[in-house]
Structure 1
Amino acid sequence: MARKISAPKVDRRNFLKGVAVAGAAAGAVAPGAANALPAAGAEPARIPSVLPPSARTIAAETAMPEKELNRIGGKAGSDFMVDVIKTLDIKYLPANCASSYRGIHESLIDYGQNKMPEFLTCMHEESAVAMCHGYFKVTGKPLMTLVHGTVGLMHATMSIYNAWCDRVPVIVMGGNDMDAAHRPPGVPTFHSAQDINAIVRDYTKWDDTPVSLQHFAQSFVRGYKIAMTPPYGPVMISLDAGLQQEPMHPRPGEATPSIPKYTPTSPPAGEMGAVRDAAKLLANAERPVIVVDRAARTENGVRLLVQLAEALQARVVDLGNRMNFPRTHHLVSGPPAVANADVILGLELSDFWAVMNSYVDNGDEGIGFNQTRIKAGMKLISINSVELITKANYQDFQRFQPVDIAMAADAEATLPALIEAVKSAIPNDRKDAIAKRGEAAKKARDEAHTRTLQAAAIAWDASPISTARLVMETWNQIKNEDWSLVASEGNVSNWPARLWPMEKYHHWLGRSGGYGVGYGAPASIGAALANRDLGRFSVSIQSDGDLMFAPGVLWTAAKHKIPLLAVMHNNRGYHQELMHVQRMASFRNRVASIGNDLGPIGTSIMNPDIEYHKLAESMGWWAKGPIKDPEQLGPAIKEAVAAVKSGQPALVNVWTQPR
């Protein structure tokens, strides 16, 4: 579309004359004035500018109405966009600045007064999206971000993919300059495309390219609505530069653009016939097991899952991508419970096949060896909303697992009906057996917890510090706070879930979704931002390799005063990849023939060792380290907790065992 810029309603000659006079006055300095000192108590003299005053300054000094200096001849299109955005109560907008969305950027901070949303300065688009990701998992409310054309969106793609796999809504808007007849040459053209949304179309729920302001209003509200309908997911809107910068003029015969009303869509619940069939199987099972992945979307989802499990006294295997079930509950169980089950209920499982099969990547049996856990007569029930948005290209839907009852529905929305159906389906003569099942589960839980404590004590005094001690020394310093573990990147043998009394939904926010390295630091900071507003204490177990993908997010946390305790799991390497190489070398008999382990080549983060505490300090964090003596770990974390409680982000750099 052509950009028609209305001429300013200002006499150009008089305007320039005023600038010249003002500039001359600014340049005139009395003899000796440059060296004069202000009297005691007086304000220092203003140093005159060599630049002419801005139009805003002239308007103030001449009492000229500022609106008359509006060069576009009306309300900017991006001002209307801000009006639309404000109706949805989006609190923050983390983004890396860019020329392709300068129109809406200016409108957000000037016209919108930098409130609802507040612009948060990020060093990288991947970090900005991951901050949105972490924020949502605390609040249940999405944030939006802005990216720069092709290159900014390319930077953001890993975090968008994580959000897609983790079923998290993020509103992404990308600046683009679509009109080639008016597009500036050079960089703006390099960074434009016919269809920037194509970059992320395979891993977003929906996308659009508005061509008018009314179209934008409808697209933004629609996009928000789609993102916030379970299963959640990111959406993408391409934002034309001309549409942002042109004045808001309706087409001939059209009304002034309006803002549609947002009405949330009810999540899809399971069909009642299927719910009753599932309830009958569960109620009559001898050894029912519930396996959960992203079943709980809210605190209420945790309560509902407890009700279902207790009605059946069924073991619960929580795969950990959300805080689905209290870790202190007597029905908590590990994956081995699956092998003895006669009925398995899978709720929002990202990989049902992996639950039912053990798989060895490259072990003694060979590469890709697997063994099934399915026994004769075992019944499988699946309630999974992700079936409603499965796409073809990216393989996040995992391997195919046949089941006996399949509901393409939101698990949390289906739980109330399933609970009532289960209670109605339990025969009176089975209630005693169900109660005894619960007693056996409690005994097994107590025995497993004792074994876990014994395992955690191994190498307690070792240096580098064991991951169990790292986790428990952290817990000992935060246990009296209203804490939230916002991320645990790197493999610390799942000690937080095994040892910490996780009971509330915000106690554990889950993993990245797509397992993209670089999620932990920015997602932790986004979650800590949400927890700051809610008065909670945020802590993350931060791995070294993850932090180095985009360490600039540390500055964002300090800049915007986001308190977070980051305890480094600094094992000085990409240990998982090291083990892959070592296992492959062993499978191929390389070690025996060469005589030494070359696995650290390409996987080690040593020589030089990265001083993460100094990196954090340079960006405004309280930091300490490297901590190598386990006796020094507790006191160091205690100091860091005090810094966080004062409102400052803090990092403790801890040298640790590999996992």
Structure 2
Amino acid sequence: MTKNHNKTWGSDVLASALRETGVPYLVINPGGSYRGLHDSVVNYLGNQSPQLIMCLHEEYAASIAHGYAMVTGEPLAVAVHSNVGIMHASMAVFNAWCGRIPLILISANGPVDAAERRPWIDWIHTSADHGAMVRNYTKWDDQPASIPAAIEAIRRAAIVTRTQPTAPVMINFDTSLQENEIDAAPELPAPSRYAVPAPTIPSTADIRSLVSMIEQAKAPVILSGRLSRTDTSWQNRIDFAERIGARVFTSVGVGASFPTNHALHADEIGFAFSESTRPIIEAADLIIGLEWRDLGGTLKTEWPTGENLPQVINCSMDHQIANGWSMDYYSLAPADIHVATTADTLVEALLEKLPETGESTKEGYELSSQSGIATGLEEGPLRMANIVSCFNQIAEDYKSCLINRPIRWPTNSNNFDHPLSYLGDNGGGGLGAGPGIAVGAALALRDHFPERLPIAILGDGDFMMASNALWTAAKYDLPLLILIANNHTYFADEVLQEKVAEQRGRPVENKTIGISIDEPQPDIVNLARSLGFDAEGPLMDHNSLEQSFQQAAKSVSEGKRVLLDVSIEQENFDIFPERVTNKK
């Protein structure tokens, strides 16, 4: 067969344009609709910049990009096959949308020209509007019809997804666009001429008003939300809190944004303020929301009518991507001043204007200890607290990155002293995201922060939905420690079914029907081994857990992959406090 070394194909140009965006990886599940692009990445670019990352399912492919961006703040490209691939990936795209994660989704249509379609398969895998399937939870999408338009679409996608507030974008390439031979790549301006816009600098008037409000406040509170992970921004937030003497609340859902062992750290909260720290928020005379997720909803838990609500500063750009389909714009937050910029930009501007002298200087603050750590764990069945205790020991011995943690993880139980200490939840609350996010984060940590030990603590329900993601970690030799907090059920749903049964006077003992993961119980250990992980379990007592966790951490620090299956007790808990649900 004659090899056409001198010919150039449309997909060669598309692959080159993708390389120009600086995206290091193209995460894929193989599919014929983008076979041209696949060939160009492998044979034209040499499978470098971007390199293919192969997956066994499109949903966790997109979750890998999610995890990578949680570490780096940068997007990966994800290629999915036709309309069916988009539908598989859509849950993970929604998670990324809700998590404000940059991601470039690449799809390929069957031949738009019906005369070019093969019988059956090209017809069912061709859609009139691929973008419609994810348009309600992406920032932008396009289906270019020419090579120049496709290059522009790739460049625009890279800009739009990286522009704050970040979120997924999608490009759809027609099969013919990829597979037609072309004479040469079109002459276009250099990619360096297309800059990502920087966040807006707060106005002089806003800064003046903000400084005045802060200086007059006697009990300011900072709600530190979904913020960047740079060392500079981390230190700036510490300096800002210390300079104004503000107590700082962080969120369980958005990752480390302020050191939890700092004396000014008040609480790590979920849906509402805890009873122990409610007096702090109730005494506040100024609340500063720094990109806080659902600021309006959080404030309503304490001031449902708005009466006696203190002054509020809201720093957020989130309103700029609100739409009529997805309600992740949350409750409308009252704000005496709303600064539409990033928290990093605002904090830096305020530090330039706020005086450095006064009672609230950094010399006055020391590190505090965690308040949520349980004791007396050596006896009895394992609980989540046992896992927390063993993790904390690992975190003392290694620079760790807690990628994700289950819903029942106790607050204020960890020393998060770095922006990579904890990455946060999956954004959209979709089960099955955990394994892919863990693999993506492990990939980013290996490439950029190899000193960090990647640890993902997943529930068994979350893990079983996308357990095949482990195969990708093994294929690309990614160090990763996964611990399964295994209560053999979708326990959050058991709690809800129990409440419903109690309210209706029906048998509570039926709460497990259709919810328990048993008869048979999945063999998680052998499943993990078959996918390329060392695995141990089920672990049933504290000493075994402690020893196995230590050995697993050592192995992962040496570049290996380990899964621990930990059998834990089913512990009841209130998912939503009454003041959150407004129901008795």
**TM-score calculated relative to the size of structure 1:** 0.80
Q: Does 1:188 align with 2:122?
A: yes
Q: CA deviation at 1:459?
A: 4.8
* Per-residue deviation, residues 493-538 of structure 1 (Å, max 9, x unmatched): 24xxx23321111111111111111111110110001111231321
Gaps of 5+ in 2: 268-272, 572-584
Q: 8 Å contact 1:176–1:238 — kept in the other structure?
A: yes
Equivalent residues, number: 556
* Per-residue deviation, residues 300-346 of structure 1 (Å, max 9, x unmatched): 22111111101111000011403210111110012323222111011
Measure, in 2, the Cα distance between the counterparts of 1:221 and 1:282. 41
Measure, in 1, the Cα distance between the counterparts of 2:466 and 2:114. 34
Q: Which residue in 1 is equivalent to 2:432?
A: 518
1:217 maps to which of 140, 143, 151? 151
In structure 2, relative to structure 1, the CA distance for the partners of 1:478 and 1:371 (3 Å cut) is: closer
Q: Which residue in 1 is equivalent to 2:92?
A: 159
Q: 8 Å contact 1:338–1:356 — kept in the other structure?
A: no
Q: Which residue in 2 is equivalent to 1:452?
A: 372
1:234 maps to which of 168, 176, 180? 168
Q: Does 1:206 align with 2:140?
A: yes
Q: CA deviation at 1:224?
A: 0.3
Q: Does 1:84 align with 2:9?
A: no
Q: Which residue in 2 is equivalent to 1:25?
A: none
Q: CA deviation at 1:243?
A: 0.4
1:147 maps to which of 80, 92, 110? 80
In structure 2, relative to structure 1, the CA distance for the partners of 1:255 and 1:85 (3 Å cut) is: closer
Measure, in 2, the Cα distance between the counterparts of 1:373 and 1:295. 29
Q: Which residue in 2 is equivalent to 1:354?
A: 297
User: Identity of aligned pairs, percent?
Assistant: 31
In structure 2, relative to structure 1, the CA distance for the partners of 1:255 and 1:101 (3 Å cut) is: closer
Report the secondary structure of 2:563's partner residue.
strand
Q: Which residue in 1 is equivalent to 2:213?
A: 281
Q: CA deviation at 1:195?
A: 1.0
Amino acid at match of 1:489: P
Gaps of 5+ in 1: 1-54, 60-65, 359-369
Report the secondary structure of 1:542's partner residue.
strand
Q: 8 Å contact 2:138–2:169 — kept in the other structure?
A: yes
Q: Which residue in 1 is equivalent to 2:389?
A: 472
Q: Which residue in 1 is equivalent to 2:236?
A: 304
Amino acid at match of 2:20: T
RMSD of aligned alpha carbons: 2.2
In structure 2, relative to structure 1, the CA distance for the partners of 1:256 and 1:278 (3 Å cut) is: closer
Measure, in 1, the Cα distance between the counterparts of 2:378 and 2:297. 33
Q: CA deviation at 1:126?
A: 0.8
Measure, in 1, the Cα distance between the counterparts of 2:377 and 2:491. 19
Q: Does 1:582 align with 2:498?
A: yes
Q: Which residue in 2 is equivalent to 1:607?
A: 519
Q: Which residue in 1 is equivalent to 2:404?
A: 487
Q: CA deviation at 1:158?
A: 0.9
Q: 8 Å contact 2:71–2:229 — kept in the other structure?
A: no
Q: 8 Å contact 2:378–2:543 — kept in the other structure?
A: no
Measure, in 2, the Cα distance between the counterparts of 1:451 and 1:212. 60
Report the secondary structure of 1:493's partner residue.
coil
Report the secondary structure of 1:296's partner residue.
coil
Q: How does 1:249-260 map to 2 (within 5 A)?
A: 249=183, 256=187, 260=191
Q: CA deviation at 1:207?
A: 0.9
Amino acid at match of 1:452: G
1:115 maps to which of 48, 52, 67? 48
In structure 2, relative to structure 1, the CA distance for the partners of 1:107 and 1:417 (3 Å cut) is: same
Amino acid at match of 2:30: C
Report the secondary structure of 1:265's partner residue.
coil
Report the secondary structure of 1:131's partner residue.
helix
Q: Which residue in 1 is equivalent to 2:317?
A: 385
Q: CA deviation at 1:450?
A: 6.7
Measure, in 1, the Cα distance between the counterparts of 2:518 and 2:282. 42
Amino acid at match of 2:151: A
Amino acid at match of 1:309: A
Q: CA deviation at 1:657?
A: 2.5
Q: How does 1:507-546 map to 2 (within 5 A)?
A: 507-533=421-447, 534-535=449-450, 536-546=452-462
Q: 8 Å contact 2:463–2:484 — kept in the other structure?
A: no
2:245 maps to which of 306, 309, 313? 313
Amino acid at match of 1:76: W
Measure, in 1, the Cα distance between the counterparts of 2:488 and 2:65. 28
Measure, in 2, the Cα distance between the counterparts of 1:226 and 1:543. 34
* Per-residue deviation, residues 437-495 of structure 1 (Å, max 9, x unmatched): 996x87xx85xx47533xx11555221x111111221332353222211121342224x
Measure, in 2, the Cα distance between the counterparts of 1:119 and 1:87. 16
Amino acid at match of 2:380: A
* Per-residue deviation, residues 260-315 of structure 1 (Å, max 9, x unmatched): 43422212233331222122112111111000211335332211111110111100
Q: CA deviation at 1:185?
A: 2.3
Q: Which residue in 1 is equivalent to 2:4?
A: 67
Report the secondary structure of 1:227's partner residue.
helix
Report the secondary structure of 1:505's partner residue.
coil
Measure, in 2, the Cα distance between the counterparts of 1:438 and 1:287. 19
Q: Which residue in 1 is equivalent to 2:327?
A: 395
Report 1 or 2 for greater relative contact order, CA contacts < 8 Å, sequence distance ≥ 6: 2
Amino acid at match of 1:508: Y
Amino acid at match of 2:206: A
Report the secondary structure of 1:506's partner residue.
coil
Q: 8 Å contact 1:581–1:599 — kept in the other structure?
A: yes
Q: 8 Å contact 2:28–2:61 — kept in the other structure?
A: yes
Q: CA deviation at 1:385?
A: 1.0
Measure, in 1, the Cα distance between the counterparts of 2:167 and 2:330. 18
Amino acid at match of 1:567: L
Measure, in 2, the Cα distance between the counterparts of 1:222 and 1:307. 36
In structure 2, relative to structure 1, the CA distance for the partners of 1:257 and 1:344 (3 Å cut) is: closer
Q: Which residue in 2 is equivalent to 1:343?
A: 286
